[in-house]
Amino acid sequence: MRIIIAHKHNPETPKGGVTIAAEIDDQDNVIAYAVAKCGPHDNFNRRTGRVKATGRLNSQNYRTELNEPINRKEFINNFYD
């Protein structure tokens, strides 16, 4: 198992954004994920988002387990829609 990190924010403004930490299995499928969301008045920071999302992935309170694994690329693309 490994963890991937994905970020999304509007490059035209430093405010707001989302960071996703996802646990990936050996077949490149997402099995669990956690999210860190930057407030609309806060400056987006990749490092802070990575630390928070990864910490939440390791926490049972914030971690979301998927019922069925989803392909990593499909998961990331659908998450941003």
Domain boundaries, the chain: 2-72
Mean pLDDT of 69-80: 86
pLDDT in tens, 11-55: 888 898 999 999 999 999 999 999 999 988 999 999 999 999 999
Q: For residue 27, what are its two tokens?
A: 């077949």
Question: Under the phi-then-psi rule, with left for phi > 0, alpha for psi from -120 to 50, and beta for the rest, what region is 24?
Answer: beta
The alpha helices in 1-81, defined as continuous H runs, are: 46-57, 72-80
pTM here is: 0.87
